[in-house]
Amino acid sequence: MTQSVSRDVAADAGAPAPALVSTAMVKWHIVAAVAWLAIAMFAGLLYATQFMQHWQLPKIALLSPGRIRMVHTNLVAFGFLVNAFLAMLYWTVPRLTGKRVLSGVLGGTILVAWNAIVLLTFVGLLAGEAQAVEWGETPVWVDPLVVVGAILVWVQFYPPIVRTEERALYVSLWYFTAGFIWLGLTYIMGNFPPQYILAGSAAGPLLGLYIHDLVGLFVTPMGWGMMYFFVPVILRAPIWSHALSLVGFWGLAFFYPLQGVHHFLGSPIPMFAQYSAVISTIAIEIVVVTVIVNFFMTWQSAPASASSSLRRNMALRWFWVGALNYFITCLQCAFQVTLTFQQVIHFTDWVVGHAHMVMFGVFSFWIFGMIEHLWPKLVGRDWWSMKLRKCFFWFTAVGLGSMFLVLTAGGLIEGFMSLHLAPRESILESMRPFWVTRTLTGIAIIIGFACLVVNMVMTVVASPREHIDEDYAPYEQVEQEVAVGTL
Ligand code: HEM
């Protein structure tokens, strides 16, 4: 953030121009994200009970397990993650560029339109209208609306990036700029050609690319960009290496799109495509390590008070544990991308454990860090209860950690039993204790999440202390830079 920001803020002080950052947009997108996550988690828990052979809603097609599973995954992705990332963009892009987003009216339109799309998806999935595309289950009649939604997001966020007076863009903006384009292209590629043009193993590589790129070319750039913004601000120290962050960017751009087929190893897709996906996955391993190294070195090289604040600073704690989880998932990837390992873990709960670790343990943890950091600034009150913040952290971290362990262990047992041709009934019987434990871990996660929701509400209605912003306001007032980067 530089002097152009300060100039804008100073101008705001003199004239009744709209504020540089629309806090209302940040707030409402966070509220929407939390609301969708509540429904998604409840659907996840409901679906988990199906594995214990206790389906509470028998013979109601509308609420059958398969549909509830899709509600879980789609609301997590499109309801929670996308809303949270939009909130993050409204906070970060104007600060990094010194320019406002295009329009307040457009902001309101995007907020309403996007959440209407999620609602339509929710209803469509329950009504049995799912599209037969993994992660693209949004009904076919919702797909064009999603594309329009993505275009509106471009229209809203590109103008400040293009009009900025910065001589060099901070790395977060690199990720956001590319992430918007990738989102549109990925969504169109995954939802339209496999539905109308291609079929069978010809559609396979495209679908593999789609599920992989949705995470790698949208969730990942948004998540990395978010981390590169908030961590230096919270630590009040520049990122350790700007060069390394750019290596990460170009590595992601180059290697990520080549590896979609690694989701279908051992399938009828030609082996040259499978091998090339394995090799580019090994390359991306090196790239993701740059992000992990950059995070931990930034944290290490920050002033002593900042490093020791891990105990006191809850936001930092979420980012730190998220980065650790990232390391774990990347380590897992190194094994699971080999054909040997795939023989064991394919179609087992190992994969589900991995999915929760990435989507929840990494990106959602970073989003929770952002919410911890921003909510008091958005509502002008300090957090209502420190105890609830700690409960939220510990229930979630322990819940997710044990869910991951139990699914990973169960997955290995399932895999080895299948490999030795054990009868399906014995495999299911052996998995029962793992699935019961998974449900219990889900309950722990929901208790943690309830602490967050109660604390957010109580902070607005009952917090006795006004929040004094020491992270952004002082720098903007005295026309100094916040140490976001090393530019
Ligand atoms: C209350 C907490 C949760 C419970 C009980 C839960 C449970 C489940 C269950 C039972 C499945 C289906 C697994 C299968 O078909 O074998 C699933 C899938 C999935 N969940 Fe969750 N979940 C929870 C929270 C979350 C959160 C917070 C996220 C992400 C932010 C998430 C992301 C996913 C993903 C990505 C999948 C798809 C996994 C795959 O297809 O391999 N879940 N979850």
pLDDT of 269-311, one tens digit each? 889 989 999 998 888 888 888 889 999 999 888 876 665 677 8
Pocket lining for ligand 1, CB < 6 angstroms:
41, 44-45, 47-48, 69, 72-73, 76, 351-352, 355-356, 359-360, 364, 442, 445-446
* Mean pLDDT over each residue of the chain, to the nearest integer: 90
Stretch among 173-187, 378-392, 450-464 having the lowest mean pLDDT: 173-187
**Confidence at residue 8, expressed as pLDDT on a 0 to 100 scale:** 45
Query: Are residues 292 and 339 in contact, defined by beta-carbon separation less than 8 angstroms?
Result: no
Q: Which residues contact 431 (CB under 8 A, 6 or more apart)?
A: 51, 349, 410, 413, 414
**Comparing 157 with 54, which gets the higher pLDDT?**
157
Residue nearest to atom 21 of ligand 1 (CA): 44
Whole-number Cα distances in Å, 102 to 157, 175, 178, 197, 472 = 7, 19, 18, 36, 22
Rounded mean pLDDT, 307-327 = 89
Residue nearest to atom 7 of ligand 1 (CA): 44
**Comparing 181 with 8, which gets the higher pLDDT?**
181
Query: Are residues 295 and 228 in contact, defined by beta-carbon separation less than 8 angstroms?
Result: no
How many residues are present in the chain? 487
**Predicted confidence (pLDDT) at residue 132 exceeds the cutoff of 70:** yes
Residue nearest to atom 11 of ligand 1 (CA): 44
**Confidence at residue 94, expressed as pLDDT on a 0 to 100 scale:** 94
Residue nearest to atom 32 of ligand 1 (CA): 356
Give 364 Cα–ligand 1 centroid separation in angstroms: 13
Backbone angles phi, psi at 480, to 5 degrees: -110, 175
**Confidence at residue 3, expressed as pLDDT on a 0 to 100 scale:** 40
**Confidence at residue 36, expressed as pLDDT on a 0 to 100 scale:** 98
pLDDT in tens, 347-371: 999 999 999 999 999 999 999 999 9
**Confidence at residue 11, expressed as pLDDT on a 0 to 100 scale:** 43
Instruction: Name the band, by pLDDT with cuts 50, 70 and 90, for residue 483.
Output: very low
**Confidence at residue 477, expressed as pLDDT on a 0 to 100 scale:** 58
CA angle 143–144–148, rounded 5-degree value = 120
**Confidence at residue 10, expressed as pLDDT on a 0 to 100 scale:** 41
Give 355 Cα–ligand 1 centroid separation in angstroms: 7
**Confidence at residue 4, expressed as pLDDT on a 0 to 100 scale:** 43
From the CA of 354, give the closest atom in ligand 1.
41
**Predicted confidence (pLDDT) at residue 336 exceeds the cutoff of 60:** yes
**Predicted confidence (pLDDT) at residue 411 exceeds the cutoff of 80:** yes
From the CA of 42, give the closest atom in ligand 1.
1
C-alpha distance across the termini of the chain, in Å: 10
**Confidence at residue 256, expressed as pLDDT on a 0 to 100 scale:** 85
Q: How far apart are CA 150 and CA 374, in angstroms?
A: 25
**Confidence at residue 116, expressed as pLDDT on a 0 to 100 scale:** 97
pLDDT in tens, 19-28: 889 999 999 9
Of the candidates 413, 399, 297, the one whose C-alpha atom is nearest the C-alpha of residue 357 is 399
Give 349 Cα–ligand 1 centroid separation in angstroms: 11
Query: Are residues 12 and 91 in contact, defined by beta-carbon separation less than 8 angstroms?
Result: no
Instruction: Name the band, by pLDDT with cuts 50, 70 and 90, for residue 476.
Output: low
**Predicted confidence (pLDDT) at residue 9 exceeds the cutoff of 70:** no
Of the candidates 139, 137, 146, 90, the one whose C-alpha atom is nearest the C-alpha of residue 114 is 146
Residue nearest to atom 19 of ligand 1 (CA): 73
Q: How far apart are CA 274 and CA 263, in angstroms?
A: 9
> Around Cβ 355, how many Cβ atoms within 10 Å?
17
Give 356 Cα–ligand 1 centroid separation in angstroms: 6
Give 353 Cα–ligand 1 centroid separation in angstroms: 8
Give 51 Cα–ligand 1 centroid separation in angstroms: 13
Rounded mean pLDDT, 105-127 = 97
Instruction: Name the band, by pLDDT with cuts 50, 70 and 90, for residue 13.
Output: very low
Rounded mean pLDDT, 165-172 = 88
Strand partners for 381: 466
Rounded mean pLDDT, 310-339 = 92
**82-97 vs 143-163: helix crossing angle, rounded to 10:** 20
Residue nearest to atom 17 of ligand 1 (CA): 44
H/E stretch holding 219: none
Q: Which residues contact 280 (CB under 8 A, 6 or more apart)?
A: 255, 256, 258, 259
**Predicted confidence (pLDDT) at residue 479 exceeds the cutoff of 60:** no
Q: How far apart are CA 2 and CA 339, in angstroms?
A: 49
Q: Which residues contact 438 (CB under 8 A, 6 or more apart)?
A: 48, 51, 403, 406, 407, 410
From the CA of 363, give the closest atom in ligand 1.
30
Give 72 Cα–ligand 1 centroid separation in angstroms: 7
Instruction: Name the band, by pLDDT with cuts 50, 70 and 90, for residue 487.
Output: very low
CA angle 141–192–217, rounded 5-degree value = 110
From the CA of 351, give the closest atom in ligand 1.
41
From the CA of 349, give the closest atom in ligand 1.
16
Residue nearest to atom 13 of ligand 1 (CA): 352
From the CA of 80, give the closest atom in ligand 1.
30
Query: Are residues 413 and 344 in contact, defined by beta-carbon separation less than 8 angstroms?
Result: no
H/E stretch holding 262: none
Give me the residue spans of the domains in the chain: 20-167
> What percent of the chain is predicted at pLDDT more than 70?
93
**Predicted confidence (pLDDT) at residue 12 exceeds the cutoff of 50:** no
Q: How far apart are CA 38 and CA 46, in angstroms?
A: 12
**Predicted confidence (pLDDT) at residue 14 exceeds the cutoff of 80:** no
**Confidence at residue 260, expressed as pLDDT on a 0 to 100 scale:** 85
For residues 163-176, b (16+ Cβ closer than 10 Å) or e, as one string? ebebeebbbbbbbb
**Predicted confidence (pLDDT) at residue 255 exceeds the cutoff of 90:** no
Q: What is the pTM of this model?
A: 0.93
For residues 258-279, b (16+ Cβ closer than 10 Å) or e, as one string? bbbbbbbbeeebeeebbeebbe
**Confidence at residue 484, expressed as pLDDT on a 0 to 100 scale:** 52
For residues 311-350, b (16+ Cβ closer than 10 Å) or e, as one string? eebbbbbbbbbbbebbbbbbebbeebbeeebbebbbebbb
Rounded mean pLDDT, 465-487 = 66
Rounded mean pLDDT, 389-412 = 98
